Amino acid sequence: MQYRRLPHGEKKERFSTLGLGLGGIQQAPAEEIESAVRLAVDNGINFFDLCAGGAGVYEPFGKAIRGRREQVFFQLHFGAVYNEAGEYGWSRDPEEIRRTFQWEMEMLGTEYADFGFLHCVDEMQDLEELMDSGVLAYLQALKGQGRIRHIGFSSHTPAVAQRALDTGLMDMMMFSLNPAYDLEQGDELGIGTVSERAQLLQRCQALGVGVSVMKPFHGGKLLDASASPFGVAMTPFQCLQYAMDRPGVLSVVPGVRGMQDLRDLLGFLQADPEEKDYSLIARFTPKEVTGSCVYCNHCQPCPAGIDIGLVNKYYDLACAGDQMAADHYRKLSVKANACIGCGHCDKRCPFHVTQKDRMQTIRQYFEGK
């Protein structure tokens, strides 16, 4: 398992790149939910999203993490509420949101949540309502008391997410992310242009705001050729790797329906690089976007030992003003100046990136800094 640090967090706040969402498991018996969470933690998953799971997931989740609370991190959504039947719903009523948080803490048997999220900040009005009604102030107060460790938000809309980032209060953003949405071929939740979506992630990385990913499989559509907007099925592992390679992403939180789904998902940890190679999306990439590196590393191996995807990611982020990415680049043991111009990457790149030339551009950029 790979772990990534929350830039605004403490050293110990390192999250598994493969996380778990509990949104799909609510139909399973409580014992199975508890066993699934234990199995996930035993296999190194330490990051969870509890949104939309229904009221029934809290108690078994709490039982599963008892005794190892400090090893586990989870997101709670302020605005996700549950009716008497335990069904997930949605509220902007500050009193209901407060009551839900108290109830969640009791069910989970813990004193704190790692993340308190403004829930579903999709319209400007959502953000204004959550601020005007005092929900954001409530999160700030909880953070001051140590009852939540960080503030974040979930969104599907780049323009609104940018406004949430403008507050300067965010440590984490949950965002819907998959190749269909990023290539403007998704559904109504795939909002924003290719560049708006890319700029949002780059800004998160530059600000040190972590990203957790929802909808990595486009609600399962990408896994089914007849439902996929591309007309070709991707594998879950390809979708997961795609999301993990986007700037700022710390953890991807796919849902599972039960133990069998979880076991299948854990196969990702043993999968070889070929199984995770998502370069087939090059076939569906619009002409205006080809020529841009998507950091997929399909062009490997580089005889000079350059991690081509990573070098390109750091370069793009540095150009967008991310000083930390520039520092990361400088710490690489093999940089763009190691390129011997063999052209192997140019031949291998399905996105038609002229990488050999780009390595020279990257070298000159950092040497000139």
Chain residues that interact with ligand SF4, rule: CB under 6 A: 293-299, 302-304, 306, 308-309, 312, 339-345, 349, 351, 353, 355-356, 359
Q: Least CB distance from residue 356 to ligand SF4, whole Å?
A: 4
For ligand SF4, the closer of residues 273 and 303 by Cβ is 303
Helix orientation angle between 308-319 and 323-331, rounded to the nearest 10 degrees: 150
Helix orientation angle between 124-132 and 135-145, rounded to the nearest 10 degrees: 60
Q: Least CB distance from residue 332 to ligand SF4, whole Å?
A: 13
For ligand SF4, the closer of residues 120 and 240 by Cβ is 240
For ligand SF4, the closer of residues 142 and 293 by Cβ is 293
One-character DSSP codes across 267-332: GGGT--HHHH--GGGGGGS-GGGTTS-----TTPPPTT---HHHHHHHHHHHHTT-HHHHHHHHH-
- Asked if 1 contacts 18 with a C-beta cutoff of 8 angstroms, the reply is yes
Residue 192 is classified by DSSP as S
Q: Least CB distance from residue 193 to ligand SF4, whole Å?
A: 19
Q: Least CB distance from residue 291 to ligand SF4, whole Å?
A: 9
- Asked if 252 contacts 236 with a C-beta cutoff of 8 angstroms, the reply is no
For ligand SF4, the closer of residues 256 and 293 by Cβ is 293
For ligand SF4, the closer of residues 119 and 313 by Cβ is 313
Q: Least CB distance from residue 312 to ligand SF4, whole Å?
A: 6
For ligand SF4, the closer of residues 222 and 299 by Cβ is 299
Q: 10 Å Cβ neighbour count for 176?
A: 23
Beta strands, E only, the chain = 3-5, 14-16, 20-21, 47-49, 73-78, 80-82, 88-90, 113-118, 148-155, 172-176, 210-214, 249-252
Cis preceding linkage at 216, omega within 30 = no
Interstrand relation of 249-252 and 210-214 (parallel, antiparallel or unpaired) = parallel
Q: Least CB distance from residue 246 to ligand SF4, whole Å?
A: 13
For ligand SF4, the closer of residues 218 and 335 by Cβ is 335
For ligand SF4, the closer of residues 162 and 279 by Cβ is 279
> 3-class SS at 178?
coil
Q: Least CB distance from residue 314 to ligand SF4, whole Å?
A: 12
Residue 186 is classified by DSSP as S
> 3-class SS at 250?
strand
CA separation (Å) from 223 to 117, 215, 253, 259, 280? Answer: 29, 12, 16, 19, 13
Residues forming a β-bridge with 174: 154, 212
Q: Least CB distance from residue 86 to ligand SF4, whole Å?
A: 45
